[in-house]
Chain A
């Protein structure tokens, strides 16, 4: 299907190829191969959108960045004092390091959801006017959240060292655990982004949900401190094994428990596949719902 106007440097995909056929496919998924190719081809869009969002959040200024790291560190301090009082003052420096490390990882997930929930609805005009894989919008939110997570690493390192926590090669485990967390965060971002189209008040409920989720995750306490009668909370919480593995590596410089890694991966991959299937099978409807 070549034409005089064919531009040879252009890759074919469902959205911009020289020849498109649109046929009914309101039910189920679009052809996944071409969807993924189109998605990959437009990865620059997701990156640029994330950068633009960060600029809008004044991430590129010194004070904007300062606020970004000051905010979680202040919250971590407040939580530390709170927990220390409730525990009768038995919490040490190692707990503060644990709290900060786990909280920063949790904030990445929370940010992915908070940015993701707006992503589709605020992309209204773009969705009405351009054909592109809509999954780029929530995925870009995860990227934004990840960029916001990066500077917090620089804050964590001195706290880790000052608390006298061990450092070792086992810390490389953080990379696969972070990868699991990114997959899980992408799942959550796609889920809330799609649900927000149908229920516009999800955005207002979300802060409550994420707060409760944080309390249900071993962040303000160590995983091994959970009393037996509350065992079901971490057992049902997909985030518990991921954060437990994260904390095991950070706090003890130990390899994470295999069960935490396996259960965490299973949750993340399962949630990702379900959320992606839900989002992608719904996304063609977004244009008439916005």
Chain B
């Protein structure tokens, strides 16, 4: 590893991610047999991220903005090690905690407690560490009464609060957040902002993907703007957001800052 990068938490070099995904909602053997001989295209090749290079210094907050389908989520998943690069390289220094778009609970039939325990164990935590953190997670999420209810009974706000609480209370070196701040009420949002600032003071690094431009401005030290898989801009948050807003106004949509 080259010297001088010790202060970097994340280093993304010339990263490209292409993946193939079936066009059908549910690929089946039956549909394959039915289709046989017709030579229809059944998978779409998606160039989600194209030659992206940037880095994130430790203890800073990076905001990621971009229109839908810009490759933001794919980028964050590859930093989390969930999607492998097609070419290029991702280097991550530190323990990663992810709070991606879909949240913590992977099985809505299970209780909040079971989901937290299973998610934590899958992420590589030991039972002791989980037991130690469990009360903090529940307290932060303000869900004491609901932890033994199946997660299908949760409101989307409760869902998001639990997901956020799990992610931040695991004391990650690097926290990846994909559009999760829109959940929860104003009070919880303030609390999450405070918690993220605290993590940064403790030398943690945060990557925040959001459409809420105001929170990017408030929280981030740097920002990148992704457009159709390419890195359009990597600069101070104000500059990136001004450019992004200009771009959106030139385009079809009007943007509002009131998202948060």
A91 at the interface (CB under 8 A from B): no
- CB proximity of B137 to chain A, nearest CB, Å: 16
Instruction: Pick out which of these stretches binds chain A: B106-114, B228-236, B237-245.
Output: B106-114
In the bound complex, CA of A46 to CA of B109 (Å): 18
List residues of chain B with CB under 8 Å of any chain A CB. 1, 19-22, 26-30, 32, 58, 77-78, 80-96, 98, 100, 102-107, 109-110, 114, 117-119, 121-124, 126-127, 171, 173, 202-204
* Residues 1 to 40 of chain A near chain B (Cβ within 8 Å): 1, 3-5, 7, 10, 13-16, 18-26, 38
Among residues of A, the one whose C-beta sits closest to the C-beta of B108 is A125
Considering the complex of A and B, which 6 residue pairs feature the smallest CB-CB distances, nearest first?
Answer: A125-B106, A126-B106, A45-B121, A131-B81, A16-B124, A201-B28
Instruction: Pick out which of these stretches binds chain B: A181-189, A214-222, A280-288.
Output: A280-288
Among residues of A, the one whose C-beta sits closest to the C-beta of B202 is A5
Interface contact A125-B102, CB-CB below 8 Å = yes
Among residues of A, the one whose C-beta sits closest to the C-beta of B109 is A56
> What would 25 A/B residue contacts be, using CB atoms closer than 8 Å?
A1-B1, A3-B94, A10-B95, A15-B81, A22-B85, A22-B91, A23-B84, A23-B85, A24-B87, A42-B124, A45-B121, A45-B122, A52-B118, A129-B82, A130-B82, A131-B80, A131-B96, A132-B122, A136-B122, A198-B27, A199-B27, A201-B30, A205-B29, A284-B83, A285-B19
Beyond A1-B93, A18-B94, whether A201 also contacts B29 by CB under 8 A is yes
A58 at the interface (CB under 8 A from B): no
In the bound complex, CA of A123 to CA of B91 (Å): 27
Partner of A48, one of B19, B96, B118, B124: B118
Interface contact A129-B106, CB-CB below 8 Å = yes
List residues of chain A with CB under 8 Å of any chain B CB. 1, 3-5, 7, 10, 13-16, 18-26, 38, 41-42, 44-45, 48-49, 52, 56, 122-132, 136, 198-202, 205, 284-285, 287-289
In the bound complex, CA of A56 to CA of B109 (Å): 9
In the bound complex, CA of A180 to CA of B119 (Å): 31
Interface contact A199-B81, CB-CB below 8 Å = no
Partner of B203, one of A4, A10, A14, A201: A4
Partner of B126, one of A19, A38, A44: A44
Beyond A3-B173, A22-B81, A23-B89, whether A38 also contacts B124 by CB under 8 A is yes
Interface contact A200-B98, CB-CB below 8 Å = no
Chain B residues with CB below 8 A from A198, complex form:
27
- CB proximity of A92 to chain B, nearest CB, Å: 43
Interface contact A5-B82, CB-CB below 8 Å = no
Among residues of B, the one whose C-beta sits closest to the C-beta of A13 is B124
Chain B residues with CB below 8 A from A131, complex form:
80-82, 96
Chain B residues with CB below 8 A from A284, complex form:
83-84
Partner of A5, one of B27, B81, B92, B173: B173
Interface contact B89-A21, CB-CB below 8 Å = yes
